[in-house]
């Protein structure tokens, strides 16, 4: 699936390059067209606009493909040693927290990384491990962040409930709203992954 998307992305890149080249040729023709030949100039202007719209359309599709490839690669990563539904629950949590941006930082709370891990969360993981295994830099590493979420849930959520996963990650007064976002994202991921 990922290979097919990457191939389509490469084809779209080439098509965009060809369209951009055509756009340049039309622009040059427009510059050298004589003002006396108004129909020719109007046609070239129309062609230029149409080509610009095609280039933008392809660029939007390429952006969309790149996002989908990133998502599918994330799904593949999380599938490695975990049950599929638990993996999807963790990905749903990461999407709600950071939109899968491992470099995300919340300047107000200090939450960081793909899971927006708080300093207190990090401290609790190390306490449960009975050693300082994870440092603040670890929150920016997808694998280590995932391990930290896994450790907390191993101790506090052995049944791997999505409700408990959300609560352990964000035990605030907005829990209903937050839980609904995680659950809705999870259900969407299930539809995408199981109907692929």
The fold of 82-194 is Lysozyme (1.10.530)
Question: What share of residues in the chain are helix, strand, coil (percent, to 5)?
Answer: 75, 0, 25
Radius of gyration of the chain (CA): 24
Sign, CA torsion 69/70/74/75: negative
Q: What is the pLDDT of residue 139?
A: 94
Q: What is the pLDDT of residue 87?
A: 84
Q: What is the pLDDT of residue 121?
A: 93
The model scores a pTM over 0.85: no
Q: What is the pLDDT of residue 81?
A: 41
Q: What is the pLDDT of residue 32?
A: 53
**Number of other CB atoms surrounding residue 48 within 10 Å:** 16
Question: What ranges make up the beta strands (E) of 17-160?
Answer: none
Q: What residue ranges of the chain have pLDDT lower than 70?
A: 1-52, 54-56, 58-83, 173-175, 194-196
Q: What is the pLDDT of residue 62?
A: 62
Q: Give the largest Cα separation in the chain, rounded.
A: 84
Report residue 54: phi and psi, to 5°. -65, -40
Q: What is the pLDDT of residue 132?
A: 94
Domain residue spans of the chain: 2-73, 82-194
Q: Which residues pair with 117 in a beta bridge?
A: 112
**Under DSSP, is residue 105 helix (H, G, I), strand (E, B) or coil?**
strand
- The C-alpha atoms of residue 124 and residue 7 are separated, in whole angstroms, by 44
- The C-alpha atoms of residue 54 and residue 13 are separated, in whole angstroms, by 12
């Amino acid at each position: 699936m990922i290979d097919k998307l990457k191939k389509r992305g490469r084809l779209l890149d080439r098509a965009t390059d060809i369209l951009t080249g055509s756009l340049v040729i039309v622009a040059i023709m427009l510059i050298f067209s004589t003002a006396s030949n108004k129909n020719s100039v109007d046609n070239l202007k129309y062609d230029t606009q149409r080509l610009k719209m095609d280039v933008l359309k392809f660029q939007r599709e390429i952006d969309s493909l790149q996002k989908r490839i990133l998502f599918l690669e994330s799904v593949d990563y999380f599938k490695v040693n975990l049950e599929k539904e638990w993996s999807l629950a963790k990905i749903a949590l990461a999407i709600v927290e950071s939109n899968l941006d491992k470099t995300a930082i919340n300047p107000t709370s200090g939450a960081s990384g793909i899971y927006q891990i708080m300093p207190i969360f990090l401290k609790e993981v190390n306490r449960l491990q009975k050693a300082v295994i994870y440092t603040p830099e670890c929150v920016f590493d997808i694998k280590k962040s995932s391990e930290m979420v896994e450790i907390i849930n191993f101790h506090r959520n052995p049944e791997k409930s999505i409700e408990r996963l959300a609560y352990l990650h964000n035990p605030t007064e907005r829990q209903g709203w937050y839980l609904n976002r995680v659950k809705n994202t999870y259900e969407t991921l299930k539809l995408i992954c199981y109907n692929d």
